[in-house]
Chain A
Amino acid sequence: MDQVKGIIGLREYIAVVAIVIGMKISDDTPSILFKEMKNSAWISPIIMGILLFIPIYILLRIITLYHKQMNDFFDIITYLLGKYFGMIVIFMLWIISSIAIIDNTAIYSDIIQTMYFPKTPILLIYSLLIGVSVYGAKRGFEQIGSVARIFFPFTIIAFFISIVLTIIRGQTDFIFPILGNGSWETIKGSILKSSFFIDILFFCFLFPFIKDLKSFKKGTWISFILVICISSIGMLSYLMLFDMKTLGLLNYPHHEAIRFIFFGFVTNMEMFFVPFWLLSTFVRFTIYLYVNAMIFGRIFKVDHFEFIIPSLATVYMFIGLIPDSRTFVYYTFKIHFYNIMFPILLILPCLFYIIAKFKGDFANEQANSS
């Protein structure tokens, strides 16, 4: 018997979103952005933010509209797009999320191996990473939220200390020319890479877990702004430390940066930051696996989808292990993946909106409320 019902509050939700999206700044995503937009890459999250404001607003609007009649986001999609087309869209989202898991787990285990444990076999690192994430994901979303909430403050403090130390070591001159390849190139790059924030679409599947709709909306906006700030400042700090020339050669600028910085007599500080980074990594993949299994369970009608997480994760791990030169394969793959995916986050919400408008549900809502 539970004395209290498990709930995910505002803080837990913000921690979850911020960890999942914010962590991207510590893998090879910044180097993709830098490659595309040169010196202006650090502005791109802000441009993406402005660009994505409308789609995200629409998404939240749609959820507000239907959250009383529908149980979850699946119902909303199938209601709006019809049973078959809706299922196709959900299936497509599941494929995207699976690819993201394979790609990211492979890259993160590659980071751990190349940067910190060059002698350890990748299989061991990969399976430990997946193993911990599976253990966490099987516990359920409330637990994931709580753990994210516990780790998040430490992660963010550690990250900001590293940023401050990086900026102290960096030079302001390196950020020029501010616009990199030019303003048009910056805007074009930002649009192409706007699937940086695609996870927001997947968080819509989580809204039934959040305490109330108000916290969900508030949490989405707060974490969205937080993530924009984190990624902008993060990339700015890398740019100031390395300059564009060196950055072009680095795949994992965050990990190179924390090797560079020092504080007082402690010359090698990376091991102060890595544990926090690792904790967030575990939480991040836990959330990925959970959401992925949830969508899978919905498509194939598996009620207790927690039980298929281990098998799904094992499959992803072995797919992730296939390429030998992970660093390059997944880097190139990610660039194309981003380019292909950018319309989804921009178009899908608008499509929802138009259909809802045609169905006359907005008018009904107004009529009901008045």
Chain B
Amino acid sequence: MLKLLRKIFNDKKNPPEQSTQKKIKEQYIPTNLKKTIDIFKSLYHYPDNSDVYFRNLQIGGLEKKATILFINTITDSKAIEKQIIKPLLHNMKKTADISDIISVQAIHTESKISKILKEVNNGSAILFLEKSSKALIIPMADFKTRNLEKPENEVTLIGPKESFNEDVQTNISLIRKTLRNESLMVESFTISERFNNEVYVLYVKDLANEKLVNNVKERVNSLTADSVQNIAILEELIEDRPLSLFPSILYTERPDRATFYLEDGYIVLLMPNSPSSLILPATFWTFFHTSEDKYLRFLNGNFVRILRMSAIFISLFASSIYVALTEYHTEMIPVNILLSIATTREKVPFPPIVEIVLMEIAFELIREAGLRVPTPIGPTIGIVGALILGQAAVEATIVSPIVVIVVALGGVSSFAIGDLSLNFALRLMKFVFIISAALFGLFGITAVFAMGMFYLVSVKSFGVPYFTPSTPTYTSSSDTIFRKLINQDFFRPGYLKPKDMTKK
């Protein structure tokens, strides 16, 4: 028994197979080709691993043995055949450099085993040569991905209609397409040890504040996760307050939006497998704005902003104010309206708070179900929701019609808030407000609101206060609730301390 226990503990501490593998990975490749190939075959568990290919060949002319290692499913195998294997086999020259024989765009050498493994896993073909202590790395990656599509979550009427997809190279190219400048930096960092996930940090070198860039790089590099699959997971790992209701990093799928922020000195993070980017630092206003505000004509854009601001307040307060008014401040409602509310509530057996919470939960359920339901039966949810939960509940006098109106108004308003994280924050806060209204009426609502504001102004995203440039004030284009005319927009946001403040 004791032996068994000891064995288990020892195993946990030092699994023999893993530690030897780790040791091997830290070594350099031997000059003996056969030995090298054996090392890699054991590392890739060849031939159990079915898509790892070792192609042995004899280079014509040089009469040298060579082996090409690649993973078939993530490389362009036709190109390997045409550009590497064929020239090597058909070579006639007796003295020639390998790089002069094969016709590929880029080629470099590597001798550390761990680095070679990383290249193979990233889709390169590796050419091992007899009596050589260096392997040739030939990038041949061909990861399958979908085509460019329209943005689905941040829909606009005007403006570019491309969105990021899962291929990070495409995403970078989309940004470079809009921002044609030599100082746009694309730096990549490997952030997870086991699965080699990469993060690309994008910023404009002569605009972005160096301290900020270093801070972001430091935070990204200090991650010790085993795997960070995509950018949504990265967001939680690097944000200041993961437990906070309010988001502090902007998540967008629109390349045009990312570019706008890059131009202002913000930093954009991209990752493979993520059809979106992270923009940081973010303030409350970044979540409040959409890219279309800038594209719409001046007045229309600002009209939309007013609508959105009122949507925020309606979705936050509609239900709680109803509860407060009917429970505590009935005298405030004009008599006619009060009477009509009273008549509809006559047969309802519950107090307003129960009614409201019932309807709110029902609405949230419909919303969540509508999102998860498979598309073919999607419309059913709408019918079930509208008919059963709305009309039938009213007819059965479980809720009064006015509650349906209030909750629906709040719900519709919450759809007008584009950013998903802000949307969730407001929907969750709504319940806090409803409870506070049930306990203390308008006094409770204002108390919670005041506390919320005290909390929000102390939130910082990468050192930037949440409500700048409104408060604290900084020189900036003061793009808060309203935007300025584009030709009067002179300054980059001062709270980022960009290297160049003026836009002209």
Residues of A within 8 A of B (CB): 1-4, 6-9, 11-12, 112, 116-117, 120, 124-125, 128-129, 131-132, 135-136, 139-140, 142-147, 149-151, 265-271, 274-275, 278-279, 282-283, 286
Contacts and interface: CB of A to CB of B under 8 A. Distances in A.
Contacts of B443: 112, 116-117, 125, 128, 278
Return the 7 tightest CB-CB contacts between A and B, nearest first. Answer: A3-B463, A146-B457, A278-B446, A146-B471, A282-B450, A2-B463, A149-B471
B472 interface: yes
Contacts of A139: 454-455, 457-458
18 contacts: A4-B468, A4-B495, A6-B465, A6-B472, A11-B473, A112-B443, A116-B442, A124-B440, A125-B443, A132-B451, A143-B457, A147-B457, A149-B470, A268-B332, A271-B325, A274-B442, A275-B446, A279-B446
A150 B457 contact: yes
Contacts of B442: 116, 271, 274-275, 278
Interface of chain A: mostly helix, strand, loop or mixed: helix
Nearest to B325: A271
B473 A147 contact: no
Contacts of B329: 116, 271
Interface stretch (B41-49, B180-188, B207-215): B207-215
Given A12-B472, A128-B440, A3 B211 contact: yes
A97 to B, nearest CB: 21
Interface in B153-170: none
A7 B457 contact: no
B472 A8 contact: yes
Interface string B442-486: 111111011101110110101111011011111000000000000
Contacts of A146: 457, 465, 467, 471-472
A265 B336 CA distance: 10
A271 B445 contact: no
Given A112-B443, A268-B332, A275-B442, A11 B454 contact: no
Given A3-B211, A267-B334, A279-B449, A150 B470 contact: yes
B151 interface: no
B441 interface: yes
B450 A9 contact: no
Given A139-B458, A147-B457, A3 B473 contact: no
A150 B467 contact: yes
Contacts of A150: 453, 457, 467, 470-471
B207 to A, nearest CB: 15
A9 B494 CA distance: 14
B497 interface: yes
B247 interface: no
Contacts of A286: 454
B472 to A, nearest CB: 6
Contact of B465 (A4, A112, A265, A269): A4
A287 to B, nearest CB: 12
A235 to B, nearest CB: 25
Interface centre among A3, A143, A274, A275 (most CB of B within 10 A): A3
A143 B471 CA distance: 9
B471 A12 contact: yes
Contact of B472 (A9, A124, A266): A9
Contacts of A275: 442, 445-446, 449
B440 A147 contact: no
Contacts of A7: 472
A369 to B, nearest CB: 30
B454 A3 contact: no
A3 B332 CA distance: 47
B85 interface: no
B441 to A, nearest CB: 7
Given A147-B457, A150-B457, A151-B453, A9 B328 contact: no
B452 to A, nearest CB: 10
A149 B471 CA distance: 7
Contact of B447 (A3, A120, A132, A274): A132
A264 to B, nearest CB: 10
Nearest to A112: B443
Contacts of A274: 442, 446
A135 B215 CA distance: 30
A65 to B, nearest CB: 28
A267 B331 CA distance: 9
A135 B349 CA distance: 38
B496 interface: yes
Contacts of B453: 147, 150-151
B352 to A, nearest CB: 16
Given A116-B441, A147-B457, A275-B446, 17 more contacts: A3-B211, A3-B281, A3-B463, A3-B464, A4-B472, A117-B441, A125-B443, A139-B455, A142-B472, A145-B471, A146-B471, A147-B450, A147-B454, A150-B467, A265-B334, A271-B329, A279-B446
